[in-house]
Amino acid sequence: MIDLHSHILYDIDDGPETMYESMRLCEMGVEYGIDRIAATSHLYNPEEIGEFVHNRNERILRLREQIDKRGLQLRIYPGAEVFVDDSIYTAQHLDKVTLNNSRYLLVEFEFHDVSARRLIRYIDTIFKMDLVPIVAHPERYSFLKADLGLVDFLVQRGVIFQVNADSLAGLTGFAEFDLAYRMVRHNAASIIATDAHSHLGRANDLLRMIRSFPPDIPRESLDYMLYTAPFHVLANKDLPRIRRTELRRRRYDG
Ligand SMILES: [Fe+2]
């Protein structure tokens, strides 16, 4: 399986502090079915992209060396989890922090205080850069939980949603599980990833989490979200189309 959202790199954000901890996450991922990981450390300030890319690439190289030394069957790809606020309007070079240098940009927002209008403007700004936003953990946003029509609208606009495996496994509370599950059942989510931060806490024991997913999620959907869709992202290809059903009817005009 492919884990498209992982804080696998050490000493760069709130993920692992040491190479040892990074390697523990690598080993756990492999043990639980992951063979490809996008290193998506937090990027909070677009003005620091140059420094971020430098630090990230250096850590990826060192981590790959360790992975090779241990003979782990694991590939690490460059990426970032980009925090989007009003600075997006003047941001430059975001194409440098996409997933595996594709057109796909993994993004997150303020958790509680973003209006629908503002969110749509952020999304449109990203599309105007010829990038495709992948919104990380939509189930964690109170404004999306409260407005499924907005989720539908964004899906139709071409936004890709990535739900966290621990949410879908029910490990983070009912509200997050509920939205993650609805989005998966309606094929509004295209990708499942771990958002792992530590082998001790928010980890990447993916196969174990999958065993706690609701049993009525079709096998083909899981294959799509855990392999096919992320594979196409890393290859910078369009995602294969899947039939979607609306979560709720409501109209937005931006
Ligand atoms: Fe994350």
Domains defined along the chain, listed by start? 2-234 (3.20.20.140)
What is the 42 CA–ligand 1 centroid distance (Å)? Answer: 7
Task: Give dist(CA 59, CA 11) in Å, integer.
Answer: 9
What is the 194 CA–ligand 1 centroid distance (Å)? Answer: 8
Q: Please report the pLDDT score of residue 253 as a whole number.
A: 44
Split at pLDDT 50, 70, 90, the class of 146 is: confident
Q: Answer whether residue 248 shows pLDDT above 70.
A: no
Q: Please report the pLDDT score of residue 155 as a whole number.
A: 95
What is the 82 CA–ligand 1 centroid distance (Å)? Answer: 9
Split at pLDDT 50, 70, 90, the class of 68 is: very high
Overall average pLDDT of the 98-111 stretch? 96
Q: Please report the pLDDT score of residue 254 as a whole number.
A: 42
What is the 245 CA–ligand 1 centroid distance (Å)? Answer: 27
Q: Please report the pLDDT score of residue 111 as a whole number.
A: 87
What is the 113 CA–ligand 1 centroid distance (Å)? Answer: 18
Task: Give dist(CA 80, CA 41) in Å, integer.
Answer: 5
**Amino acid in the structure at residue 148:** L
What is the 81 CA–ligand 1 centroid distance (Å)? Answer: 6
Overall average pLDDT of the 164-175 stretch? 97
Walk across the sheet containing 75-78 and list its strands. Answer: 2-6, 36-39, 75-78
What is the 173 CA–ligand 1 centroid distance (Å)? Answer: 18
Overall average pLDDT of the 26-32 stretch? 98
Q: Answer whether residue 164 shows pLDDT above 60.
A: yes
Overall average pLDDT of the 214-233 stretch? 96
Helix ranges (DSSP H) in the chain: 19-31, 49-70, 116-128, 142-145, 148-157, 165-168, 174-185, 206-210, 219-223, 229-234
Q: Please report the pLDDT score of residue 145 as a whole number.
A: 86
Please report, in angstroms and rounded to a whole number, the separation of the first and last CA atoms in the chain: 36
What is the 14 CA–ligand 1 centroid distance (Å)? Answer: 9
Split at pLDDT 50, 70, 90, the class of 252 is: low
Task: Give dist(CA 89, CA 125) in Å, integer.
Answer: 7
Split at pLDDT 50, 70, 90, the class of 191 is: very high
CA distances from 203 to 29, 130, 198 (A): 8, 33, 5
What is the 15 CA–ligand 1 centroid distance (Å)? Answer: 9
What is the DSSP code (8-state) at residue 14?
S
Overall average pLDDT of the 177-204 stretch? 95
CA distances from 188 to 140, 181, 193 (A): 15, 10, 15
Are 166 and 140 in contact by the 8 Å Cβ rule? The answer is no
151's tokens: 């989720």
Split at pLDDT 50, 70, 90, the class of 126 is: very high
Overall average pLDDT of the 107-132 stretch? 94
